[in-house]
Chains A and B, each alone.
Chain A
């Protein structure tokens, strides 16, 4: 099942991406070899116990052709999670400067395409130093495939002590071969992002994924984030692709000393979604808030695997994931906290709560603690259950209809996660998306 992709890679390497620097070509060659060796995961593998990627493995998704859909700025604004403000727009992983707007970015902030950033010069050197250095393409077939087809993507660099006050959005739009061009089979895109926030800088970033057409499509995204010493980053990620989309994603972050990362994940779309989130707390005193919400209905399946790696002492991590599962939806959560030998004074807390709104809905939850140091405080909790009957009773006794009472309690459950988002403007936008998802 991997051969068609190897053939596509050979074609891709010989024409489409021939202009890439040698170091990048080397990484790509290594990545396709890893992909071939690893193959698509099966449910026999522990990390894929509850998620079958057979629908992806059994279909040959091709890279989209050169014909691009005609998009108006107005359409893009509707698909954007923020609606306005500076943004980089990508269609099928390719940078669209005409749809992007970079006005108002302060000095010290570079936002451009990876194709641009990997060219020679000081920027090329920066990309070389970080690109594909964190994402686990040696172990993950999907990250390897993304890396093999790495040609373009988002590159954001915030220089030391720079403040990026306005949220910057990176918007990835997926087309579907058949729906857009009327020809060809299902397509795959490999969106790639590299965010580097240097020492003492502050930034709010939004990474969002949406579909232009509702046809069969596969998005295989990889994001690498580096948070420098003392830097503070709020990173939002919204996935609201179509109901026929497969969305596989890897988000890998590395935090340096005394840095703060607030990573907020909102999963609404896709028929099959899998998101691997790994954060390495690689400097003393680093702090992480990992805050996620999945709202699923129909026959949607979403799987979140998170790893928080406490590699250094005196770090704190707080993780919260809530899931609202209606109809025949299936939510999977696997959260692993690793405390490495010597990572003393670690303070780590993890919670996963799931709300089942129908008898057909299903939740699998696997919180995990792996601890190799003794002076630590680590807890995790997980719950699965229906709506609280007493809360519903209370609301009904106040004259609310059963439907209103149910939607109010459900919204309240989702709002726990929204409430942790620090930017009020972003929170308000996402609140609207969540309400639409719950309706």
Chain B
């Protein structure tokens, strides 16, 4: 891992994730009082509280959606604690005390020894935990006028910016889980890139998610002003043991004229055990608005974790000549279920979108691609290309493709292609005959299958993603 990335990610408590206030725990349940309490604890202005309450009141009236191609038991929203201090794990003295299974995984991912300690909750030595590294990093950004901080900090420090953009892409009443998030969100990041600035670093929440304070209701807002450029990384390839069952995050991106936002995700949350017990429900609303001319938003995701993944990162292509991209790899093994895809809404002239989705099902996994490409009347000469490929490993899994295509402009050109097939037995045979183990062969074939997506990832992520895929599919063949 390059030092640049390390520098960015080594700032565990920098953004106020462990503070004295947050050591309180609110008893489970959701009511207007709980929302008021969250808002007070966060020191939020009045308008923010009003917004939360508006979202909550709307949420109460919404029915819980069940149209996705996944099955799960009922969720008790009153059993969730909506404001809890990050769980403090007992500090361990050395790596010897860590679960050997976890160490083995780190080994396979090739995570540096110092990082392993941090991931496993081992006390990290002082040099590594140096505050100065993070400070330097933040200064670099500040010199360029870039704001990158926790969303709660942004609400206090930059209320005008937040107020202008928060909820402008995903409104408080957008959908059931977005409304819930709007009412109770506590964590998340805010990034603002001023006019004409190209962000010198890849912004990342890598370690913060990795620390024990995994946000259950995260809210991320990224605003790229005219002519700016930013790349943002979210998530972590290391396994995260988290006890929150329901994760309902909201991510909003705003790109103005000539701006580019690249958003990459690696998600490897706890998928539950072999029988599908436990595991995270990952119900996320992610949407980007290409507001300006020639703007571009690119989503790249590698989804290997969670018991259930249900998300559709989308782009609203408002500005003329704007571009939306979606590259996705979703893996389901054991009893995992994924219903994921994208939405591309073409509004401006000459808007273009590209969708490349790779689904891999193994074990008893069920993998669904669901996507919408909508070309509105005014989107003259809009262009879309979609490709959805599914690979099946084993005869108990399923792969499903449900694209929705709605074209209302005759000058638009839209193409969709999908294929589903079994992993090539002759390819495995060939690799084995050359001395590779069945598992290595599968890993190699799968990585080749996903290459188009991996090449969109920032390099460090791409390397880890490949290893991660190998681990996720362990035991699926032979």
B410 contacts A364, C-beta separation under 8 Å: no
Q: Does residue A166 face the partner (Cβ distance < 8 Å to B)?
A: no
Considering only residues 377-393 of chain B, those with a C-beta below 8 Å from chain A are: 377, 390, 392-393
Provide the bound-state CA to CA distance between A383 and B397, in Å. Answer: 29
Asked whether B395 lies within 8 Å of A375 as measured between CB atoms, the reply is: yes
**Cβ A386 vs Cβ B416 within 8 A:** no
Q: Are B413 and A377 in contact (CB under 8 A)?
A: no
- 11 extra interface residue pairs, beta carbon distance < 8 Å, beyond A367-B416, A382-B405: A341-B395, A341-B396, A363-B406, A364-B405, A365-B405, A368-B401, A371-B390, A377-B421, A381-B415, A382-B416, A386-B411
Residues of A within 8 A of B412 (CB): 356, 384-386
Contact B413 A385 (CB under 8 A): yes
Contacting pair B414 A373 (CB below 8 A): no
Task: Say whether B147 faces chain A, with CB atoms less than 8 Å apart.
Answer: no
Quick one: which of B394, B410, B417 has the most chain A CB within 10 A? B410
Asked whether, in the complex, the Cβ of A359 is within 8 Å of the Cβ of B410, the reply is: yes
Q: List 30 A-B contacts (CB under 8 A).
A: A50-B406, A341-B395, A341-B396, A342-B395, A344-B395, A354-B407, A356-B407, A356-B409, A356-B410, A359-B411, A365-B405, A366-B403, A368-B402, A369-B390, A370-B400, A371-B420, A374-B397, A375-B422, A376-B392, A377-B419, A380-B417, A381-B417, A382-B403, A382-B415, A382-B417, A383-B413, A383-B414, A383-B415, A384-B407, A385-B412
Instruction: Return the CB mask of A326-346 against B: 1 if under 8 Å, else 0.
Output: 000000000000000110100
Chain B residues with Cβ below 8 Å from A367 are 401, 403, 416, 418
Q: What is the minimal beta-carbon distance from A308 to any residue of chain B, in angstroms?
A: 14
| In the complex, B356 has a CB within 8 A of chain A | no
B residues in contact with A368, CB < 8 Å: 400-403
Contact indicator per residue, chain B 406-444, by CB within 8 Å of chain A (1) or not (0):
111111111111111110000000000000000000000
Closest 7 CB pairs of A and B: A356-B410, A374-B392, A384-B407, A385-B413, A365-B405, A369-B401, A379-B419
From A362, which residue of chain B is reached at the shortest CB distance?
Answer: B408
When each residue 373-407 of chain A gets 1 if its CB lies under 8 Å from chain B and 0 otherwise, what string results? 11111111111111000000000000000000000
Closest-by-CB residue of B relative to A332 is B406
Chain B nearest Cβ from A336, distance in angstroms: 9
Look across to chain A and name the residue whose beta carbon is closest to the beta carbon of B391. A374
B interface size (C-beta, 8 A): 35
Nearest-Cβ distance from residue B241 to partner chain A, whole angstroms: 31
A372 interface residue (CB < 8 Å to B): yes
Task: Tell me the minimal C-beta distance from A296 to chain B in angstroms.
Answer: 13
Residues of A within 8 Å of B411, CB to CB, are 359, 386
**Residues in A whose Cβ lies below 8 Å from that of B419:** 377-380
| A386 in contact with B401 (CB, 8 Å) | no
Q: How far is the CB of A196 from chain B (nearest CB, A)?
A: 34
Asked if A358 is an interface residue, CB under 8 A from chain B, the answer is yes
Tell me the smallest distance from the CB of A388 to a CB of chain B, in Å.
10
Contact A378 B420 (CB under 8 A): yes
Q: Is the CB of B393 within 8 A of A374?
A: yes
Q: How far is the CA of A370 from the CA of B368 in the complex (A)?
A: 8
A46 at the interface (CB under 8 A from B): yes
Q: What's the least CB distance linking B407 to chain A, in Å?
A: 4
Query: Is the C-beta of B398 less than 8 angstroms from some C-beta in chain A?
Result: yes
CB closest chain-A residue, reference B414: A384
Instruction: Please state if A366 and B421 are interface contacts (CB–CB under 8 Å).
Output: no
CA distance A362 to B415 in the complex (A): 15
> Is residue B13 contacting chain A, with contact meaning CB distance below 8 A?
no
- Chain A residue numbers with a CB within 8 Å of B401 are 367-369, 380
A437 to B381, CA, bound (A): 28
Asked if residues B399 and A371 are in contact (CB atoms below 8 Å), the reply is yes
**For the complex, is B404 an interface residue (Cβ under 8 Å from A)?**
yes
Q: Is the interface of A mostly helix, strand, loop or mixed?
A: strand
B407 touches A386 (CB 8 A): no
CA distance A367 to B414 in the complex (A): 13
CA distance A342 to B397 in the complex (A): 11
* Cβ contact within 8 Å between B418 and A384: no
Q: What B residues does A344 contact at CB under 8 A?
A: 395
Chain A residues near B405: list those with CB within 8 A. Answer: 363-366, 382, 384
Most buried by A among B396, B399, B420: B420
Give chain B residues whose Cβ lies under 8 Å from the Cβ of A374: 392-395, 397, 422
Question: Given known contacts A371-B390, A380-B418, is B402 in contact with A358 (CB within 8 Å)?
Answer: no
B67 at the interface (CB under 8 A from A): yes
Q: Which residues of B contact A354 (CB under 8 A)?
A: 407
Inter-chain CA distance A406–B412, complex, in Å, is 17
- The complex places the Cα of A364 from the Cα of B397 at a distance, in Å, of 29
Cα-based distance from A361 to B410 in the complex (angstroms): 7
Question: Does the CB pair A366–B404 fall under 8 Å?
Answer: yes
Is A132 located at the chain interface by the 8 A CB criterion?
no
Question: In the bound complex, do residue B418 and residue A369 qualify as a contact, i.e. CB atoms below 8 Å apart?
Answer: yes
Given the known inter-chain contacts A365-B416, A366-B403, A381-B416, please indicate yes or no for A371 contacting B410, CB distance below 8 A. no
* With A378-B419, A384-B413 as contacts: A373 and B407 at CB distance below 8 Å: no
Asked if B402 and A376 sit within 8 Å, CB to CB, the answer is no
**Complex formed: what's the CA distance from A370 to B398 in Å?**
7
Nearest A residue to B399 via CB reads A371
How many Å from the CB of B388 to the closest CB on chain A? 9
Residue of A nearest to B377 (CB): A359
* Closest chain B residue, CB of each to CB of A331: B407
